[in-house]
Amino acid sequence: MFILSEDSQRTQGRDAQSSNIMAGKAVAESVRTTLGPRGMDKMLVDSGGDVVITNDGATILNKMDIEHPAAQMIVEVADSQEEEVGDGTTTAAVLAGNLLGEAEDLIEQDVHATTIVEGYHEAAEIALEAIAEQVDEADVDDEILQQVAESSMTGKGTGGLTATSLAETVVEAIRHVETDSGVARDNVTVHTQIGASSNATELVPGIIVDEEPVHDAMPAEVKDASIAILDVELDVRTGDVDAEYAIDSIDQLNAAIDAEEGELKGYAETVADSGADVVFTTEDVADRVATALANEGILVFEGLGDSDAREVASATGARRVGALEDLEDEDLGSADRIHTETFGDDDLAFVEGGAAAETVTVFVRGGTEHVVDELERAIEDALDVVATALESGEVVPGAGATEIAIADKIRQEAAGIEGRKQLAVTSFADAIDVVPRTLAANTGQDPIDALVDLRAAHESEGRAGLITSGDEVSIDDPFDNGVVDPADVKREAIESATEAATMIARIDDVIAAE
Ligand code: ADP
Ligand code: MG
């Protein structure tokens, strides 16, 4: 009896397991060389020829156009890592891949999938305890936050000097949006602009929109600005149909022109009367209206995108108005300063010190589009990790030290676990080892030697990482060297990698409809 259509494909048992595991491993393998401060970048070219150069795990996996369903689950590991904590995506993907690799060996030794799943979950619990033991006793202050930011940015093409000043900017931004109820991370935006060195990256106390004044004679700067946001076209009302006016005398013509002029002036006067000195409209502004508004000394931007309009509204407290006659004093927002500046071919409007929300923008500069794009990803990650570290107040040593401690604790506790599950627990520790091993390999060290040395140093000092500083690689205490990661980044990596690996390992039947 056939219950499946002729076209559907079915793989069962070991075949299904091993093909899923292989696919998952392959994906994780593809980001391995990007891990750590000496990680290499990948150049990804899409079918349209667009090029992205990046070191970011989640970005790479998402651009790779992966189809295999099990492989897709590893991409999801990176995605959820990115979403939850904003960093550690490569670590999580590499870990998931190696948990699968270890699972494959266990299956070959006739360890049942459910035993592997149980063992992995127990090991993950031990790992979380080990992370808690590694948490820094000291309070998370600005110095530590800067170290967190810098650790997350090393290897991201930011360069030495730049990384330090970028880290300062990132911490300043997050401190700015810190409230009693946590960090309002959404109030920090990143705006990229090509044309200067990345050292020129700075923090703007407000928001930036890609807009230029509608008229050259308008002021380039307005202080203590009152802002109106309109969804109104400022043009002479035209009929729905092409109307033809029969004008047969000069008087009639003049009257028609006067009427139009009056209407145009009326716009400018209505705006001026409302008290607004800066106007953002999502629609167009006719040249003659622009001239009249310029004469009133009002700064006007037209054709604003919907999201920009919302941003300006939320920063300044202005309410969007759909008809000019409805514009009232209470609809206006305010800001300390609005000014416009030209960068090469682009004009930008800076809205600083908005009255309604404490918003800040990291204004990212860089020589080329690829540089600013990668810098933007690095800064977004750094903003996320600093916010995470500040909110939880927990940081752990980076450079592989936390992973060495986790593997050590798991191996110790494995001794007390009975039966074949012990094998699975030990395998989990072996998979964790891949993080310091990969950091070693990517810095040109022998992975086995490095692992042995790290374990010995961990045994005697309690904390040992493979520190990269300039051209030097050494084994030392990461806290003494400012290599610090948020504890939540490590927790999330363990949890999401374990979840994906156990889910894939449990599958023994793949039924694919055509
Ligand atoms: P991920 O996508 O997992 O964040 P990264 O390429 O950003 O991958 O590498 C993160 C790892 O690099 C972390 O384990 C972190 O502790 C480590 N790391 C950061 N800076 C240094 C450094 N100076 N020396 C050694 N390891 C570092
Ligand atoms: Mg990172």
Kind of pairing, strands 221-230 and 333-343?
Answer: antiparallel
For residue 89, how far is its CA from the centre of ligand 2 (angstroms)?
A: 7
Q: Structure tokens of 47?
A: 């079918």
For residue 40, how far is its CA from the centre of ligand 2 (angstroms)?
A: 13
Nearest CA to ligand 1 atom 4: 88
For residue 292, how far is its CA from the centre of ligand 1 (angstroms)?
A: 57
Predicted pLDDT of residue 246:
66
Q: Is the CB of 398 under 6 A from ligand 1?
A: yes
**Segment holding 350, helix H or strand E:** strand 346-354
Among 11, 117, 72, 28, which residue's Cα sits nearest to residue 505?
117
Rounded CA separation 365/384 (Å): 20
Known active-site residue 471: no
Rounded CA separation 436/95 (Å): 11
Rounded CA separation 512/21 (Å): 17
Known active-site residue 56: yes
Give me the helices (H) in 351-478, please: 369-392, 401-414, 421-442, 447-461
Show the beta-strand stretches assigned E in 112-205.
178-179, 182-183, 188-194, 202-204
Return the ligand number nearest the Cα of 440.
1
Q: Determine the 3-state secondary structure of 227 from DSSP.
A: strand
Known active-site residue 509: no
Residues with Cβ < 8 Å from 240, sequence gap 6 or more? none
Q: Is the CB of 154 under 6 A from ligand 1?
A: yes
> For 102-148, what is each residue's pLDDT tens digit?
999 999 999 998 999 999 999 999 999 999 999 988 888 999 999 99
Read off the DSSP letter of residue 189.
E
Asked if 173 and 362 count as a contact pair (C-beta separation under 8 A), the reply is yes
Q: Which atom of ligand 1 is nearest to the CA of 482?
A: 23
Predicted pLDDT of residue 240:
46
Rounded CA separation 430/214 (Å): 63
Rounded CA separation 85/81 (Å): 6
Q: Structure tokens of 469?
A: 């500083």
> For 253-308, what is each residue's pLDDT tens digit?
777 777 777 777 788 888 888 889 999 999 999 888 899 899 989 999 999 999 99
Q: Structure tokens of 329?
A: 């004093």
Kind of pairing, strands 320-321 and 299-301?
Answer: unpaired
Residues with Cβ < 8 Å from 354, sequence gap 6 or more? 206, 207, 312, 315, 316, 317, 333, 334, 335, 336
Rounded CA separation 105/107 (Å): 5
Domains of the chain are: 11-136+396-451+483-513 (1.10.560.10), 138-189+370-393 (3.30.260.10), 206-356 (3.50.7.10)
Residue 503 has pLDDT above 70, yes or no: yes
Q: Is the CB of 86 under 6 A from ligand 1?
A: no
The DSSP result for 121-144, as a single string, is HHHHHHHHHHHHHHS-SS---HHH
* pLDDT-derived band at 57, boundaries 50, 70, 90: confident
Predicted pLDDT of residue 160:
54
* pLDDT-derived band at 237, boundaries 50, 70, 90: low
Q: Is the CB of 482 under 6 A from ligand 1?
A: no
Predicted pLDDT of residue 11:
80
Q: 142-151, 192-201, 429-438, 457-466: which range is least confident on average? A: 192-201
Catalytic residue among 59, 89, 402, 468: 89
Rounded CA separation 314/162 (Å): 32
> For 328-376, what is each residue's pLDDT tens digit?
889 999 999 999 999 888 899 999 988 877 889 999 988 888 888 888 9
Length of the chain: 514
Rounded CA separation 104/15 (Å): 11
Asked if 512 and 10 count as a contact pair (C-beta separation under 8 A), the reply is yes
Give, as residue ranges, everything with CB less than 5 Å from ion ligand 2: 87, 152
Residue 514 has pLDDT above 80, yes or no: no
Rounded mean pLDDT, 224-236: 89
pTM of the entire predicted model: 0.83
Known active-site residue 90: yes
Q: How far is CA 492 from the centre of its chain?
A: 16
Residue 173 has pLDDT above 90, yes or no: yes
Predicted pLDDT of residue 63:
81
Rounded CA separation 356/313 (Å): 9
